[in-house]
A and B are shown apart, each in its own frame.
Chain A
Amino acid sequence: NAGVTQTPKFRVLKTGQSMTLLCAQDMNHEYMYWYRQDPGMGLRLIHYSVGEGTTAKGEVPDGYNVSRLKKQNFLLGLESAAPSQTSVYFCASSYMTGQSEAFFGQGTRLTVV
């Protein structure tokens, strides 16, 4: 049982380049999330999805886009990377019920130079 899988695990981008982070879950969870973790800032929600074909903005959505074409996948895109997007990115998923804990991927460490 793989749980939540993120790819890639590490990436270095040059300013202005684009990339897509892939998140896949095999638990049939309705909800999926993208967070970024920065020192002293905790986990901040970028975008989330409450179901296939739906997405919504979180706390820090600027500079990112997402898509959820299939229930098991949630993609995070950076169209034109900036140094401020250097961070560790976590994907997570959960059941829609409030009592469900979030299951996290292993994280993607992204550096924008």
Chain B
Amino acid sequence: AQKVTQAQTEISVVEKEDVTLDCVYETRDTTYYLFWYKQPPSGELVFLIRRNSFDEQNEISGRYSWNFQKSTSSFNFTITASQVVDSAVYFCALRAGGSYIPTFGRGTSLIVHP
């Protein structure tokens, strides 16, 4: 069975602070894919990034960076110099198993105060 744990239910920061959202996953498969999605207050779900299990390179996109560590089964997301527009619920997801049905974590609500 696949499982994704986002232990942080809600994080509150002040603008310009750096913040890291944690994601821990469980799977017995050697081939799997990890994703992050953003859900802003408007409600839609927006895809941010994917990572496959064979690529542990960290990725940076502007103020966003992702750290994938197979040794700790983690795929953490860091926002540098947070902004009010980063306020959203962020979901980590896993596609694994024979049919690759996505499993989502419970989400982390990030509140960035001006």
Contact = CB atoms under 8 A, between A and B. Distances in A.
Contacts of B31: 98
A43 B44 contact: no
Interface residues of A, number: 27
Number of contact residues on B: which range applies?
A: 20 to 34
Interface string A30-49: 01010100001111110010
Interface class of chain B by DSSP: loop
Nearest to A88: B43
Q: Is the interface of A mostly helix, strand, loop or mixed?
A: strand
A99 interface: yes
A94 interface: yes
Interface of B: 6, 9, 31-33, 35, 37, 43-45, 47, 50, 52, 91, 93, 95-96, 99-107
Interface of A: 31, 33, 35, 40-45, 48, 50, 58, 88, 90, 92, 94, 96-104, 106-107
22 contacts: A31-B101, A35-B104, A42-B106, A43-B91, A43-B107, A44-B104, A45-B101, A45-B102, A48-B101, A50-B99, A94-B102, A96-B100, A99-B33, A99-B52, A100-B95, A101-B47, A102-B47, A102-B102, A103-B47, A104-B44, A104-B45, A106-B44
